[in-house]
Amino acid sequence: MTLFIEQCLNGLQFGLLLFLLAAGLTLVFGIMDLVNLAHGSLYMLGAYFAATFAAWTGSFVFGAVLAIVATLLVGMALEVIAMRRLYGRDHLDHVLGTFGLILFFDEAVRLIWGAGGLSLPVPAWLNRSIEILPGVQYSAYRFAIIIVTLAVAAFLYILVMRTRVGMLIRAGASNREMVGALGVNIKLLYTLVFGLGAALAGLAGMIQAPILTVQIGMGENILILAFVITVIGGIGSIRGAFVAALLVGFIDTLGRAFFPQILVELLGRQAGSTAAPALSSMMIYILMAVILIVKPQGLFSANSR
């Protein structure tokens, strides 16, 4: 039972982290209609910035804040220099152009920081396990992630649902031309939204940095998952991204945790232990295919709202 609770917490933590990535992606997707494969690169940059700034300032928190600001700036610069030119093109152009950007960012990072990768140590006050429920020990750092990401999700909810900027964002997701017709500075709004998405990706990268090693290509692995979430949730829908992220987080973690035993029972040790990681990764894609077949616009479509 303890194990089950712990695995659920792991799933929750992973899902919330994926939400940070997917939220930025779905905003950019929904409002600018831009498929941004380079979103994973911003996640990687967040992690590199965090490791670098934390080493400079000697403080984890300072490093984290600076990293988020830096990714925000890089994101806005990227929007002004390159992304802006891709709006209005078809999705294929987006896929290609941003695929090229992935290659560029990977190599640029290698040029600047070297191939070896960096590490960001967890601050001492979080580097322990705590008893969150009687008898359930859990990593303090992962628990902190759950709290911080929940706070960010709440902030996003208020931003999108309760503020003027949020109103424009929502309006942009369902009817782009309309927002422009209202006389809003659409260019600035786009730059800000892209920057916000970048900052969220940077935050996700920064959060993952101590758990994973900061390394080149770290964005590619997680990018596709973030896309899957965006699509399952319905493009442009923050709420959909939240639900889908938790769904994917739980399926991934619980699949890895309990699938192997079941398969080993069924297929025998050798075949089962090879098939288990593959099949548990496959479940996420099966889920997505099923959802799209039943609801071709995802769970919560922004357009049909």
Q: From the CB of 158, what's the least distance to other proteins, in Å? A: 28
- H-helix or E-strand spanning residue 264: helix 238-267
Give exposure, 10-26, as e/b (b: 16+ Cβ within 10 Å).
bbbbbbbbbbbbbbbbb
End-to-end CA gap in the chain: 40
Q: Measure the CA–CA gap between 285 and 279, rounded to whole angstroms.
A: 10
Binding positions for other proteins, 261-280, rule CB under 8 A? 270-271, 273-279
Out of 15, 195, 233, 298, the only residue in the binding site for other proteins (CB under 8 A) is: 298
79 is an interface residue for other proteins by CB under 8 A: no
Q: What is the largest CA-CA distance in the chain?
A: 66
99 is an interface residue for other proteins by CB under 8 A: yes
Binding positions for other proteins, 10-29, rule CB under 8 A? 10, 13-14, 29
Binding segment (CB under 8 A) for other proteins, from list 70-78, 118-126, 169-177, 191-199 = 118-126
Out of 62, 100, 182, 185, the only residue in the binding site for other proteins (CB under 8 A) is: 100
304 is an interface residue for other proteins by CB under 8 A: no
188 is an interface residue for other proteins by CB under 8 A: no
Report whether 199 contacts 71 (CB < 8 A): yes
Q: How big is the CA angle at 285 (ends 266 and 28), to the nearest 5 degrees?
A: 155
Binding mask 217-256 for other proteins (x = CB under 8 A): xx-xx--x--xx--x---x-----------------xx-x
6 is an interface residue for other proteins by CB under 8 A: yes
Judged by CB, which is closer to other proteins: 123, or 166?
123
136 is an interface residue for other proteins by CB under 8 A: no
Which DSSP state fits 85? Answer: G
Rounded to 10 degrees, the C-alpha dihedral 238/244/249/250 comes to 130
Report whether 42 contacts 201 (CB < 8 A): yes
Binding positions for other proteins, 138-157, rule CB under 8 A? 139, 141-142
Out of 65, 69, 77, 82, the only residue in the binding site for other proteins (CB under 8 A) is: 82
The count of chain residues that interact with other proteins, using the rule CB under 8 A, is 86
Phi, psi of 157, deg, nearest 5: -60, -45
Q: Is 156 helix (H, G, I), strand (E, B) or coil?
A: helix
